[in-house]
Amino acid sequence: MTNNHNKLADQFHKPQGSYFLTHSIGLMPRSTSNHLEQHYFEPWKSNGDDTWPNWLKAIEHYNQALAELFNSDAELFCPQSNVSSGLAKVIQSLPKRDGRKVIVASESDFPSAGFVLQQAQRYGFTLKLIPKTADLQSHDVWNDALTDDVHSVFITHVLYNTNARIPVEHVSKICRHRGIISMMDVAQSAGIVPIDLSKLAVDIVVGSCIKWLCGGPGAGFIWIRRDLVEELEPADVGWFSHQNPFEFDIGNFKYHETTARFWGGTPSVAAYVVATNSINLINEIGVPIIQKHNQTLNKIIRNSVPEEVISSPLDDAKSGGTVVLKFKKQDIVEQQIRAQGIQFDRRQYGIRLSPHIYNNAAEIERLIECFSTH
């Protein structure tokens, strides 16, 4: 690894040993504490009446950081606590469409999203889950699932269990063509897969910043395509969802004309301040640079084991950032990895390993030595 890489890696606090759990929590940038002090505590300590304008500015910066990350406009984003609550609000707000009552999702989506989607039945929708056994990377699977009675589809961009990247470009295009609303979950792809919302045909995006964006918990977001916003009327609102939050007329609720209608009541400012600093750092380093580094390290991991051990896609173009490995002697391998102070976790399809910009080839070499007894 070069000096330049060391400099980038050094911008994050690293725990002892090697950390490969970014698919769960990305590491905290060293600049976070100062940033929080400056943009959250300082206005609170010293600005009295001016505290709220400062905090609201900080949230505008959050939307702007997201806009830069996804190549879109800040006003199309709305802060949310997490993916599940953002998605719940979206589901409540979906416009009725004659003859279309089905929401399509997949058994491989993150269960929390599935729990929310099941609630759509309260609003007269039927949920159809594409089975776990289907190949969600196959265009045919989506072509067949998106029938005339489908109202909307939920697409997880990168699956948490296999790390498969779903061909969202294709799926959202078919949806546009067939009059189906497309929703995309970017929790596992934001920060590791470049996403250009100005080019994708997707209608709604829900995401969070805790994983590859290294932005901590509590900072999620919704993005809505500009010409769809007015059709969406969430039930879960608050004064920040109002066209003019400071009007204070209890008899006159009017939806904000932008995605801000999904905002709700008083926001959790600290979480967004923390996340903004991280997204800015990721933007500064550049998602393509992080992805390239990740792919280089992932390739070393994949090349160190027989192909049948690898549960995640072999092709980088069809992957997120995680390698998933299932060994015959899984327990022994896991013990060996743990003994080396390497942090990872295990799901249905094997152990998950997620190298970020703060990991290096020497750590990967130590990791793959543990595979010798597979």
Ligand X SMILES: Cc1ncc(COP(=O)(O)O)c(C=O)c1O
Contact residues toward ligand X (CB under 6 A) are: 82-84, 110, 112-113, 156, 160, 185, 187-188, 208, 220
SS3 182: strand
Which one, 103 or 333, has the nearer CB to ligand X?
Answer: 103
Which one, 324 or 370, has the nearer CB to ligand X?
Answer: 324
* Amino acid present at 235: A
Of the candidates 326, 300, 299, the one whose C-alpha atom is nearest the C-alpha of residue 315 is: 299
Which one, 114 or 245, has the nearer CB to ligand X?
Answer: 114
Of the candidates 41, 57, 114, 46, the one whose C-alpha atom is nearest the C-alpha of residue 83 is: 114
Helix ranges, 3-129 (H):
3-9, 32-36, 42-46, 51-70, 83-93, 111-118
Least distance in angstroms from the C-beta of 99 to ligand X = 30
SS3 248: coil
SS3 193: coil
Which one, 51 or 118, has the nearer CB to ligand X?
Answer: 118
Q: How is the chain split among helix, strand and coil, in percent rounded to 5?
A: 45, 15, 40
Least distance in angstroms from the C-beta of 220 to ligand X = 6
Of the candidates 169, 91, 93, 158, the one whose C-alpha atom is nearest the C-alpha of residue 127 is: 91
Counted residue by residue, the chain has a size of: 374
Which one, 78 or 187, has the nearer CB to ligand X?
Answer: 187
Least distance in angstroms from the C-beta of 264 to ligand X = 15
Least distance in angstroms from the C-beta of 180 to ligand X = 21
Which one, 216 or 355, has the nearer CB to ligand X?
Answer: 216
Least distance in angstroms from the C-beta of 361 to ligand X = 27
Least distance in angstroms from the C-beta of 83 to ligand X = 3
* Amino acid present at 247: E
* Amino acid present at 68: E
